[in-house]
Structure 1
Amino acid sequence: MARYLGKETPRVDGVAKVTGKAKYTAEFQVPHVAYGFLVLSTVAKGRITAIDTRAAEQAAGVIRVFTHLNAGRLGKAPAPGEPPQWSWPLQSDRVFFNGQPIALVVAETYEQARHASRLVKVSYQAERHVTDLEAVLDRAVTDPKNGAKPPRGNPSAAMKAAAVKVEAEYRIPIEHHNPIEPHAAIAFWEGGQLTIFDKTQNVYGVRQHLAEGLGIPADNIRVVSPFVGGAFGASLKPNYYPSLTALAARELRRPVKVVYTRAQMFTGHGYRPCTVQKVALGADRRGKLSAMIHEAFHNTSSFESFSDNTTGFIRQVYACPNLHAPLKVAATDLATPTWMRAPGAVSGMFALESAMDELAYALKIDPLELRLINYAEVDPESGKPFSSKALRECYRLGAEKFGWKHRNPEPRSMRDGHLLVGWGMASSVWGAFQQPASARVTYRADGTASVASATSDIGPGTYTVMTMIAAEFLGLELNQVKFELGDTRHPQAPAQGGSWTTSSVGSAVRGAALAIAARLLDLAQRDADSPMRDVQAADVEMLDGRLRLKSDPSRSVDIAGLMRRTATNEITAVHDSKPSPEREKFASLAHGAQFVEVMVDPDLGTVKVTRVIEITACGKILNPLASHSQEIGGVVWGIGMALEDATEIDHRYGRIMNASLQHYHVPVNADIHAIETIFVEEDDTIVNPLGVKGMGELGMVGIPAAIANAVYHATGRRIRDLPITPDKLL
């Protein structure tokens, strides 16, 4: 009987967060700290011909102004004749995007640094730039890693022969992560040893990046990041400011702190790329898909090729013998995009699930029925069986809860007084990933335990779920376990992203706890008359201070007494977990279904999402309280993506025009109405020992498509270009 796993558990770090005890990066107190403020370029492409820092250097409190002329080396110098690349800040006079850092002013106070940053005068030789993806589509190249898979079957011949076909183009603008906590770093040196506090999803990744940039051994660097106030992918790759902060601290021989302003965040950490997708679906009259051709294009930067694998998951969604899903990326004069919650999947599924809705109307088949007709019983890509797949049950339960059978399929046929009512649905998919991870557990004779792994907690509740897993397998109360994360002094863990933390780090914590039980059994078996002789480690469990036989709890030993008798103060175990070879025989995915109601004002074109039912199948649910919260958050973000999110760029200057939370719209409480999240649990012993699959990304994947489909049902207007703003409906 599980004591914690599967039960609603409040956050163990909740009190620290609401009382201000939890320290975020910029809040660490370091004596004698100096403050850095960034100066950003105002042209999108070209070179700096002159940079005048005299007035800034003479301003009150200024210690130094770093530019490409005096900053010192970061990373490897480009080989002779090679063009300078923008992977490290302040390394050349080249400008690759508007908003690129070109100087760092360091002063005694933040205000002094900020004031002096405005006194830096820069002259440029500007070059012609392109920031509009549409203008460079013809220059897009196939992404070698994600976009070059050969076609399945013969899609073009099947498309020609299809009885019914739909073809459409779908567009998603650039979108920005806007976490509450701005990115920040504080760096200080003690001899050759660097300690840096950084807002990151991957402390080991930042350590490696800084070792390369600063040319010092990774072992000389400690990266600390105990709390992250939201990141959503914006801190997966090392950003440019930690290396700059560490460089300044080394040069000045004192601690330096750099914090982004909200506007600086828009060019400081990547974004969801601008995407154009061309989708063609072919089917017979009964609705069986015979061909899917799904071409995606998105932008990258001029100096780095990035891909979010837009068409990766769509290959595994429907049973269709003929499919081609290429992805091409085109260089633009903008900063490099990055992963943003549900990267690739939410973009690809917006196009595919909108097209499926269009096909349903062309065939006069219910959209849910069309999905069931094309349900994939095995992975259409590899032919492997699924380790588990409860999507059919998600559809059934969602339709029943939502009242889908009462839907009149005719657009503009349903009303609530003056308002048009629309019902739409979509499917979602995400991987059930597991990465290698390591955790350390120390069990003490007083019945307390410390657990550590260098993972992150960007908000999903990692502190809590790891504490639950450790307490479960050590047989302790939650308050007897202390879990620590976000420090390169802890065992290595993967970046927190991809919804793989619980499966990866959780499996390592479980493994380390079981290793403690095995060590205790070993101690117990040294007694000749032990009730534990002839027992295997797999047959015992720890509970309430006793090591006992699972099949016969009366056979047990008191752990504290055992440790006293054997003069053992504490036992430490480190466990490395990795995916089992068994997984290779199966396809493992998490699935879900979304049913959405919208109300549209026909005079104003305003859309309100009045009701959402989200059904999710992602293995075992370890903490339902946090899990429902994760899914609600995903739905809210999906509503934002469908109706509000858009980064506006003035292509004349390559400049972002709405780099603020005043002008970049995200959902507020008034935008959010009834959201119900339901889990269909799967018993999957193949994905990992805990049976969990990812859910953090999955929650938003189908939402934008479901909303767009509901808007069509309400209005008869098919909006293929996000966000769905009132002007597009009038």
Structure 2
Amino acid sequence: MARLIRTEKEVEGRYEDVWIVVDEDATDPWPAGPLTTVGQKVPRVDGAQRARGQALYTADLQLPGMLHTAVLRSPFARARAAGVSLERARGAPGVRAVIGPSDLDELTDEPGYVGQAVAAVAADTFGQAHAALEGIDIEWDVLEPLLDADEAVRQESFVSEVSNYERGDFEGGVAAADAVVEAEYRTQVVVHNSLETHQAVCHWEDDGITIYISTQYIWGIRAAMAEQLGLPEDKVRVVCHAMGGGFGAKNSPGDYTPIAAELARRTGRPVKCALTRREENVASGNRNATIQRLTAAASSDGTLVALGGDFVNAVGFSGWSATTEGPMKMLYACDNVRTRQYPAKVNLPPMAAFRAPGFVEGTFGLECLLDELAAKLEIDPLELRRRNYADSDRVDDRPFSSKNLAECYRRAEPHWARRDEVRARSAGPWRHGIGLASQIWYGGGGPPSYAWIRIGSDGRAQVVTAMQDIGTGTRTAMAQIAAEELGIPVGDVQVALGDSARGPFASISAGSSTVPSMGPAVRAAAADAKRQIVEIAAQRFHLEERVLAVKNGQIVSADGSSWPLSEITGLLESGQILGKGARGPNPAGMQVLTFGVQVAEVAVDIETGEVRVDKVVAIHD
């Protein structure tokens, strides 16, 4: 039954309250223990296709008459264009259209970082488009950039408000502590560098536009581009059949999609705008640098009595400030916590989400700090973490939907116990050792997400949903879930995805949420289809529905009788069984998080600084 609820929606650690319509998830949990398909090793359903080069990526797309784009990007971190002339570029060989700052909001004559888009050319070939950039004449006034994040804080140059958080009495906790450690940690910029660069092909047709794009959010692109182009959303078709990596940076249209759309509109031809490898490094987003000045205080038995930190996020010229302070607030049971986060606006390329944005950097700082505290207290680092285990969410005073971090710690023990043995391998300049760190992140997913399943007379099933597989194997995961619920081999399930015109709404592939958002919807659709199969079988064999089940491709009766599934589906002839499913709401009033612990064996050459990671054991809940 459809139900209107107001719920908290989380993506990448950012929350908003939204009204959504959800269907109640009527499926019961699968029985404990090993399942037939889910949790088992199966070949990727599209593995052979990818290995043979048959998977169609946006980078492979060649539409008839397609033009190629080159983008002129600022060579300066901060500048102003006193004049921009496009005339010489328009007359260059093969050029079909040229646009500048006055033609599109994504193009600017006042760039704020190296790589910001200024103008773009569409030509018959990429080589011609790139050569034509030399014909764009710009008179630059080069300005002094702001590059230092600490200086940006002093100047109060921020992309958003400074974020302050406090619970308990931080100063009092520090004053009463038996041991206090203070440290400063810095993390550097990291770029995503997906094998398939950010790119889109735009083609105006049928009174609308089709956008082929390497994206993590088909429906987000549809909504954003519909708003930008002034079109109804159903006039924007978004297609992403296969993609070569995303890691968080491909959640939005970027500048390349609006550029391709405008050039396609002006030329009446399909236009591809694909970032070069250099552009991918400077203009597609990054994990921003951070500065973390942290304090931890504890009593002599290792109980944390205060945690605090000032976190400076060098966000770049735009973007959003990730919750680097999140692990300090959430991971351990500490009554007195104070954090302050500064979202520094500097003349550097903007940040973009990158695999648990903020939490990766913040966990690095926090876990290093706890190791320093453990050494000062002469307490085993794993034991220190155990003694400060949080049984509930201290930020919002909510219970966890589930938490098995204590079991993760237990399973880490034999690996952690090898630290003296590993350290004994040290010889010459090479020093060997083991370190460990806890982990916390989101990843519970949530509504809305939808799926359809259709079953024909041959008994095979097709999952239909307009989600994207960003290379992580979610297509295979959906096939496994459908096969498990339907009681058929995974080889009898096909998954059709990647096209907003050919499937229902699906969630963003961000925040580790794709499978937990889409999986329940696919399972619910499979359960709906299975229910219909059982209803038909009950009529065919004059039995009650309650005594029938579908297992291993058979209709099974409680009295031991069984019939091939095809004996029932064969009755359909040209008909089909259509199942539909939706993601139900998350548990009300609970915090849905993931936890884990990593144990790493490393070796360091103390003369050259070379670091070698020999082994990593990851135990996740």
Shift of 1:93: 2.9
Within the alignment, does 1:135 sit opposite 2:151 as a pair? yes
Shift of 1:54: 3.2
Counterparts in 2 of 1:394 and 1:185: CA distance versus 1, 3 Å: same
Question: What does 1:286-435 correspond to in 2, within 5 Å?
Answer: 286-302=301-317, 304=318, 306-404=320-418, 406=420, 415-435=426-446
Counterparts in 2 of 1:163 and 1:572: CA distance versus 1, 3 Å: same
**Counterpart position of 1:249:** 264
Which amino acid is the alignment partner of residue 403 of structure 2? K
Query: In the aligned structure 1, how far is the partner of 2:585 from the partner of 2:46?
Result: 29
Within the alignment, does 1:616 sit opposite 2:604 as a pair? no
Structure 1 stretch displaced more, 381-390 or 8-17: 381-390
Counterparts in 2 of 1:513 and 1:121: CA distance versus 1, 3 Å: same
Aligned counterpart for 1:464 among listed residues 467, 471, 476:
476
Q: Is the contact between residue 458 and residue 570 of structure 2 (CA under 8 Å) also seen in structure 1? A: no
Shift of 1:101: 1.0
SS at match of 1:114: helix
Counterparts in 2 of 1:102 and 1:593: CA distance versus 1, 3 Å: same
After TM superposition, the score normalised by the length of structure 2 is: 0.89
Shift of 1:141: 7.9
Shift of 1:253: 0.4
Within the alignment, does 1:510 sit opposite 2:523 as a pair? yes
- Any idea what the Cα deviations from partners look like across 1:39-85, whole Å, max 9, x if unmatched? 1112223322222333322322112221124x3xx5xxxxxxxxxxx
Aligned counterpart for 2:76 among listed residues 39, 43, 47:
43
Q: Is the contact between residue 399 and residue 590 of structure 2 (CA under 8 Å) also seen in structure 1? A: yes
Within the alignment, does 1:96 sit opposite 2:112 as a pair? yes
Question: What does 1:211-230 correspond to in 2, within 5 Å?
Answer: 211-230=226-245
Aligned counterpart for 1:170 among listed residues 185, 189, 197:
185
Shift of 1:460: 1.3
**Counterpart position of 1:554:** 560
Q: Is the contact between residue 147 and residue 311 of structure 1 (CA under 8 Å) also seen in structure 2? A: no
Shift of 1:169: 1.3
Within the alignment, does 1:496 sit opposite 2:502 as a pair? no
Q: Is the contact between residue 473 and residue 541 of structure 1 (CA under 8 Å) also seen in structure 2? A: no
Which amino acid is the alignment partner of residue 428 of structure 1? Q
Which amino acid is the alignment partner of residue 101 of structure 1? A
Within the alignment, does 1:594 sit opposite 2:609 as a pair? no
Q: Is the contact between residue 160 and residue 343 of structure 2 (CA under 8 Å) also seen in structure 1? A: no
Counterparts in 2 of 1:607 and 1:142: CA distance versus 1, 3 Å: same
Q: Is the contact between residue 459 and residue 569 of structure 2 (CA under 8 Å) also seen in structure 1? A: no
Query: In the aligned structure 1, how far is the partner of 2:355 from the partner of 2:162?
Result: 18
Q: Is the contact between residue 140 and residue 329 of structure 1 (CA under 8 Å) also seen in structure 2? A: no
Q: Is the contact between residue 316 and residue 379 of structure 1 (CA under 8 Å) also seen in structure 2? A: yes
Extract unaligned runs of 5+ from structure 1.
75-87, 618-730
Shift of 1:143: 8.8
Within the alignment, does 1:451 sit opposite 2:467 as a pair? no
Q: Is the contact between residue 63 and residue 106 of structure 1 (CA under 8 Å) also seen in structure 2? A: yes
More strand by share: 2
Which amino acid is the alignment partner of residue 32 of structure 1? G
Counterparts in 2 of 1:25 and 1:378: CA distance versus 1, 3 Å: same
Shift of 1:159: 1.1
Query: In the aligned structure 2, how far is the partner of 1:290 from the partner of 1:516?
Result: 55
- Any idea what the Cα deviations from partners look like across 1:490-512, whole Å, max 9, x if unmatched? 11111101111111101100000
Within the alignment, does 1:21 sit opposite 2:37 as a pair? no
- The percent identity for this pair of structures is 33
SS at match of 2:349: coil
Query: In the aligned structure 2, how far is the partner of 1:523 from the partner of 1:197?
Result: 41
Query: In the aligned structure 2, how far is the partner of 1:157 from the partner of 1:407?
Result: 41
Q: Is the contact between residue 517 and residue 540 of structure 1 (CA under 8 Å) also seen in structure 2? A: no
Q: Is the contact between residue 287 and residue 365 of structure 1 (CA under 8 Å) also seen in structure 2? A: yes
Extract unaligned runs of 5+ from structure 2.
1-33
Kindly tell me the number of residue pairs found equivalent between the two proteins.
586
Counterparts in 2 of 1:567 and 1:16: CA distance versus 1, 3 Å: closer
Within the alignment, does 1:521 sit opposite 2:534 as a pair? yes
SS at match of 1:308: coil
**Counterpart position of 1:271:** 286
**Counterpart position of 1:186:** 201
Query: In the aligned structure 1, how far is the partner of 2:367 from the partner of 2:552?
Result: 50
